[in-house]
Amino acid sequence: MPHDHHHHHHVDPEMGDRKLALAVLVNFGLTVAQIVGGLLSGSLALIADALHNLSDAVSLVIAFAARRIARRPADAGMTFGYGRAEMVAALINYTTLILLAVYLAYEGVMRLFAPEDVEGWTVVIIAAIALIVDAVTALLTFAMSKTSANIRAAFLHNLADALGSVAVIVAGTLILLYDWRLADPLVTLLISAYILWHALAEVPGVIRMLMLGAPPGLDISELSQELAAIPGVASVHHLHLWQMQEHEAALEAHVVLEEGRWSEADAIKSALKSALAARFHIHHSTLELECAAHACRAPRLIGHG
């Protein structure tokens, strides 16, 4: 049975950091330009869009900081290392994304009952400029988003903003040309639903990892049977399987050796570790070997007996 979910393409960390840093600078630059332009022109819409864009920049800063923290080596305080910093960042960004989608849905419903005037072509032009910046940011982060939940959350923030800009352009143009005022709230509601669908699909996986859940796609019963089939192994119990970080699984288990095979303990342990690495891509395993005479009584396969 293949276990492809553990395979991923390594992106040069420094190159990834440079792309993220550039995306942050681009977004902060646009935010400052929009605020200055809004103050000079007296456009509240421009300042509002600047604040919206600022949330994208902040999400990218959180993702960038988490990437840097995650690469720290293990120490006395964090013996497993800092890899999960990226999962914490992803959870923060997904949570704010869900709140943003709920707010957009609220605004959309309110505008269905009380459609607002669009402030002319200026707003549409502003949205077009923001869309260009969003597209640049998306290009910078798209490749990394495929293998990182942390970057994927920041990417979805950016995608949500890009869709918001598209909504302003499409709805604003329809209202200005045909005076179809329901276009704005309807497009807003569609975007809100799209963001919620993506964010809610990603959050369970992030929470599962933070809760020490088993890697998705790995069948514990199949894994235990594979280990028990190794020559010299009588049974396996007290099994724990979890993700240390997004692309690194870990396992600990008690292994009972067949009677009379204790002298082969080192060779059997080596065979077990080789099987875990080759068949399940688990390279971090802790195995406690038990002789047949002193094995745990009435053990459970998973967890404590």
Could you give phi then psi for residue 158, rounded to 5 degrees?
Answer: -65, -40
Sorting pLDDT into bands at 50, 70 and 90, what band is 175? confident
* Identity at 123, one-letter amino acid code: V
User: How many separate helices (H) and strands (E) can be counted in the chain?
Assistant: 8, 3
Asked if residue 85 has pLDDT above 50, the reply is yes
Dihedral, 176, 179, 181, 187 alpha carbons, nearest 10: -60
Q: How confident is the model at residue 118 (pLDDT cuts 50, 70, 90)?
A: low
Select the highest-mean-pLDDT range: 29-38, 104-113, 124-133, 246-255: 246-255
Mind listing the pLDDT tens digit for each residue in 27-67?
Answer: 888 888 878 877 776 656 567 667 777 888 899 999 999 99
User: Helix, strand, or coil here: 5?
Assistant: helix
Residue 261, strand partner residues: none
List the single range of 28-42, 131-145, 154-168 with lowest mean pLDDT: 28-42
The pLDDT value recorded for residue 42 is 65
CB 78 within 8 A of CB 161: no
Give the confidence band of 236 by pLDDT, cuts at 50, 70, 90. very high
In the prediction, which pLDDT does 147 show? 86
Q: For residue 39, what pLDDT is reported?
A: 77
Enter the tokens of residue 21: 């840093």
Question: For 26-30, 174-178, 206-210, which range has the lowest pLDDT when averaged over its residues?
Answer: 174-178
Which residue, 162, 206, 214, 151, is CA-closest to 30?
162
- What CA–CA distances, in Å, run from 84 to 142, 178, 245? 21, 51, 5
Which residue type, as a one-letter code, is found at position 170? V
305 pLDDT more than 70: no
Q: Give 8-20 pLDDT, tens digit per residue.
A: 445 577 888 888 8
238: alpha, beta or left? (left if phi > 0; alpha if psi -120 to 50)? left
**Euclidean distance between CA atoms 168 and 148, whole angstroms:** 30
C-alpha dihedral, 201 to 207 to 212 to 213, nearest 10°: -30
- State residue 2's pLDDT score: 40
- pTM of the predicted model as reported, rounded to 2 decimal places: 0.81
Which residue in the block uniquely carries the two structure tokens 């809004």?
A: 38
* 160 closest CA partner among 55, 87, 239, 84: 55
Torsion angles phi and psi, residue 303, rounded to 5: 80, -165
Q: What is the pLDDT of residue 117?
A: 63
- Residue 8 burial (CB count, 10 A): 12
Q: Which amino acid is at 256?
A: V
In this structure, how many other beta carbons lie within 10 angstroms of the beta carbon of residue 265? 15
160-164, 191-195, 199-203, range with greatest mean pLDDT: 199-203
Q: Do 28 and 57 contact (CB within 8 A), yes or no?
A: yes
Question: Which pLDDT band holds residue 77 (cuts at 50, 70, 90)?
Answer: very high
By percentage, how much of the chain surpasses pLDDT 70?
A: 90
Structural domains in the chain, CATH included, are 4-210 (1.20.1510.10), 220-294 (3.30.70.1350)
Tell me the Cα Rg of the chain.
Answer: 26
The pLDDT score that the predictor gives to residue 4 is: 42
